[in-house]
Amino acid sequence: MSSFYRGKIILTGEHSVVHGYSAILASLDLGVSCTAKEGNLEEAQKLDPYLQHLLQIFSKMTKIKEFNLSLKIDSNLPIKSGLGSSAAFAAAVFSELANFYNYSLNSDRLYNLVLEAENFIHGHSSGADPSIVVYGGLIAFKKGQMRQLAPSILVNKTFFLIDSGEATESTGEMIKKVASTESNQQILSEIGDLSQKILNDLENDNFNPQLLNENQSLLEKIGVVSPKAMDLIKKLQKFGACCKITGAGGVKTGSGYILAFHEESQKFEEYLKDMSLIFFKTQLGGIK
């Protein structure tokens, strides 16, 4: 038996969520699994600063001083791509440690552990990634408060996640970059307004994919989208897709994965294949 936690996408609200505005996040069908057995950690795991930090957090909580166990960790979730890999990794490890040591760990306690872990990685996490990874489904998140959404309008719609290339910068670096530019504050407010509009639409069982393009334009204005990703997005939009990056972004190389929607999903899928792009299909709102 192993512990498995899914990654996520941000439908709307990256960066602005850090500043107290609403974001909408959904679970993916990709994730991280962890299996614990009697034994010892691999040498690479002993040198992994993030895993060691997770063990320190768990040790502090449980008073367990030595971890005489082996951990088998598997992931099909790309890293540095805006898909919640660090939060899913933490959730899977914490959950499996709790199982192995018969330690009671409900979802709320797991959320707090993952949030502490994310603060180590990103400097200061909004709490959005830990929320969607731990609770799953489709959520609205604002100022540390989460609520589940279940709009039927999204259930049968096909979305695409398209690789624009791994980001060179960390999430923490991108957050600092955005926050350090004073002119970005107004744009972050506009992203917050847009997120609220999308949220209101979903609650009234409406979905306007053009708002994804508007969100993308605002993300470009705050400087989190690389020229490579912008060029790819323009091509996708020219073909009729509505799309945006999903995550903190990146400017030096790639910007992680692009979330895209096209009214003719089969036609769009063939187009992506013809372009030899790395992508996968997903649905939003129905994955727990």
SS3 35: strand
pLDDT value of residue 216? 98
Give tens-digit pLDDT for 38-93: 999 999 999 999 999 999 999 999 999 889 999 999 999 988 788 999 999 999 99
Percent of the chain with pLDDT over 90: 83
Distance CA 112, CA 125 (A): 11
Over residues 107-131, the mean pLDDT reads 88
Q: Is the pLDDT of residue 286 over 80?
A: no
Residue type, 72: K
The answer to whether 125 and 113 are in contact (CB under 8 A) is: no
Q: Is the pLDDT of residue 29 over 90?
A: no
pLDDT value of residue 288? 63
Nearest CA to 17 out of 132, 169, 151 is that of 132
pLDDT value of residue 128? 92
Count of domains observed in the chain:
2
Instruction: Give a yes or no: residue 288 inside a domain.
Output: no
Q: Is the pLDDT of residue 239 over 80?
A: yes
* Higher-scoring residue by pLDDT: 262, 80: 262
Boundary residue ending a domain (149, 173, 193): 149
* 114: CATH: 3.30.230.10
Q: Which domain holds residue 97?
A: 3-149
CA distances from 189 to 3, 12, 192, 195, 245 (A): 38, 13, 5, 10, 18
Boundary residue ending a domain (149, 169, 192): 149
Q: Is the pLDDT of residue 264 over 80?
A: yes
Boundary residue ending a domain (117, 149, 181): 149
Q: Is the pLDDT of residue 107 over 70?
A: yes
Instruction: Give a yes or no: residue 70 inside a domain.
Output: yes
Q: How does the average pLDDT of the chain come out, rounded? A: 93
Residues 273 and 229 in one domain: yes
Give tens-digit pLDDT for 143-194: 889 999 987 888 889 999 999 999 999 888 999 999 999 999 999 999 999 9
Q: Is the pLDDT of residue 122 over 90?
A: no
Residues 131 and 8 in one domain: yes
Q: Is the pLDDT of residue 231 over 80?
A: yes
Percent of the chain with pLDDT over 70: 98
Over residues 201-220, the mean pLDDT reads 96
What distance, in Å, lies between the first and last C-alpha atoms of the chain?
Answer: 18
Distance of CA 131 to the CA centre of its chain: 10
Q: How confident is the model at residue 227 (pLDDT cuts 50, 70, 90)?
A: very high
Distance CA 270, CA 107 (A): 40
